Amino acid sequence: MLERNKANLILQSKSPYVEQFLTHEISTGRGQRYLDLLWRFYEKAGHYDKAAMLLSRLADNENEEISLSQRFAYLSHAIICAQAGNDPKTKAMIQELRDKVEVAHIQLAIKECMDIRTPKQQELVKLLDGPILSLQMLLEKFAAPYGLHKVQLAIFHCANLYSEEPIMAVWENILQSEFKYEGEVSERLLCTLHELYAIYGSTKYFPRNFILRRLLEMGSGLSDRSRRGILPASFFVSLITKLELGYVDFIEVLSSEYRTGDPWWTQNEAGQRYIMEVGIAVVQAFLDSGAKFTPMERAKIAAICDSCVSMFSLDARAVSSQHLLQLDRHFSALHLRLTAMSS
């Protein structure tokens, strides 16, 4: 019947012997088609617990002929069946199935990143398009050696592995890789950070202050003195929106970086000018959007902004630089508006 493509008749059958027939055929090595038919039969008959268990088995099958996308489909359907089932044991599987789906997602992301122009990489892609591998293997054999930094972050998160040094190193690599592209660095960075914030923003895998400090340093040219002012000051205004940052949070990081960060900010005019211009852009953005806040919120934010502005203004006046004196005129105007708002 199966050979004559009559599978639908089997699925619609009410005979108690269908399950017995299919399991017998599977036990004699008749193959994947019968396993697929059996879980469909279980689902059609309302035996959701049995369907979920079999689908989970299929996803874990070592048969290399089963593609990664097919395993992903098995897992996704297993979750649906487990949710519809009644057996507490099946219900207890749901989180485990979801974890496997997450690992399969990571493996699929690696597969899509691999270049298949060399025989070695073709073999690696073949390995990836089979059984679901362990996170350790995905990290050590693929993500780390091939510089897949976003995938490394996903693996750490999926495995619930947190150690500050490796996480910071991964983020450093993510940021550095974005700066390697010529042209639209700002747009690429905003898209990448928004994407990663959506996934990790509420977790320890998104080290916000580290990211902001490094963006200030790299954006100013501190990391590459031959490329000054790579990120315009307006970039940080957009970043505040993309990362749902409060003005207070950003200004506090900015002030702290200026006071205690690299001497570049206070001992080099280019660095000092850059961080001051960022401060002006962000404070101006707050003043332009002041109507969004309650009077109490406005007063609090204005006071913190004014403290930062006053700090910059004092230092700008202390240096005999025409550029910094021009910035000081901006600081004076901002100070008047902030004082009025905070009082």
One-character DSSP codes across 1-37: -TTTT-HHHHHH---THHHHHHHHHHHTT--HHHHHH
pLDDT band (50, 70, 90) for residue 53: very high
The model's pLDDT over 272-288, given as tens digits with 9 standing for 90+, comes to 999 999 999 999 999 99
Taking the domains of the chain in order of start, what are their residue ranges? 46-161, 163-342
Instruction: Centre a 10 Å sphere on the Cβ of residue 336 and count the other Cβ atoms it contains.
Output: 11
Q: Which residue has the tokens 């508006």?
A: 337
Q: Is the pLDDT of residue 11 over 70?
A: no
- Segment 85-96, tens digit of pLDDT: 999 999 999 999
Q: What global pTM score does this model have?
A: 0.86
141 to 137, 150, 170: CA distances (angstroms): 6, 15, 16
pLDDT band at 226; cut points 50, 70, 90: very low
Neighbouring residues of 265: CB distance < 8 A, sequence distance ≥ 6: 257, 258, 271, 272, 275
pLDDT in tens, 73-84: 999 999 999 999
